[in-house]
Amino acid sequence: MSQLQRTFSIIKPDAVMRGLTETIQKHLEGEGLRIVAQKKITLEASVAEQFYAEHVDRPFFRDLVGYMTSGEIVVQVLQGDDAIAHHRQVMGATNPEEADPGTLRALYGESRERNSVHGSDSPEAARREIEMFFPGEAAPQSA
Ligand code: IDP
Ligand code: MG
């Protein structure tokens, strides 16, 4: 049985900079992932560090924070059936070269780092990430 869920999505600086925001939003909506909240923002380094805290010890952490603060991003809440796993499928693998054809990262990603989109990877992550940017919006609402 499928479950109505919300998940958190970012259109990353490389994609916003190339004018891909609407194209990616249409792709998501076409997949049944409804955009129920969105805003365009620029991340402070401290917020990017908190958002990616699980990666603090990885060699790419500094570069990742630099990249994510390098330009505007669009943060959004998506709602749909099994939205968390479905959105990860629609995004494709982290490395665009390994992403399935037709996925957002295969279509638009430039590199393993500059891979155009973010999506929560678990219900716990979805809740934490939505609450960071859209307090009170984590619970799905029908109709
Ligand atoms: P995910 O976004 O597919 O969940 P994670 O492993 O959680 O992938 O990594 C978070 C983000 O960090 C990636 O989306 C990508 O932008 C960046 N990243 C991951 N691995 C590497 C790497 O090996 N080199 C550079 N950047 C990386
Ligand atoms: Mg991840």
Percent of residues in the chain assigned helix, strand, coil, to nearest 5: 45, 20, 40
Q: What is the DSSP secondary structure assignment for residue 115, as one 8-state letter?
A: -
Q: Which ligand sits nearest to residue 10's alpha carbon?
A: 1
Q: Can you give the C-alpha Rg of the chain in angstroms?
A: 14
Measured in Å, residue 91 CA sits from the centre of ligand 2 at 12
| pLDDT recorded at residue 137 | 98
| pLDDT recorded at residue 5 | 98
143 residues of the chain, pLDDT tens digit each: 899 999 999 999 999 999 999 999 999 999 999 999 999 999 999 999 999 999 999 999 999 999 999 999 999 999 999 999 999 999 999 999 999 999 999 999 999 999 999 999 999 999 999 999 999 999 999 86
Instruction: Specify whether 118 is catalytic.
Output: yes
Phi, psi of 142, rounded to the nearest 5 degrees: -80, 160
CA distance 70 to 51: 15
Measured in Å, residue 36 CA sits from the centre of ligand 2 at 22
| For the CA of 121, the nearest atom of ligand 1 | 4
| pLDDT recorded at residue 143 | 64
CB of 94 closer than 6 angstroms to any ligand 1 atom: yes
Q: Which two tokens stand for residue 133?
A: 């940017």
CB of 89 closer than 6 angstroms to any ligand 1 atom: no
| pLDDT recorded at residue 1 | 87
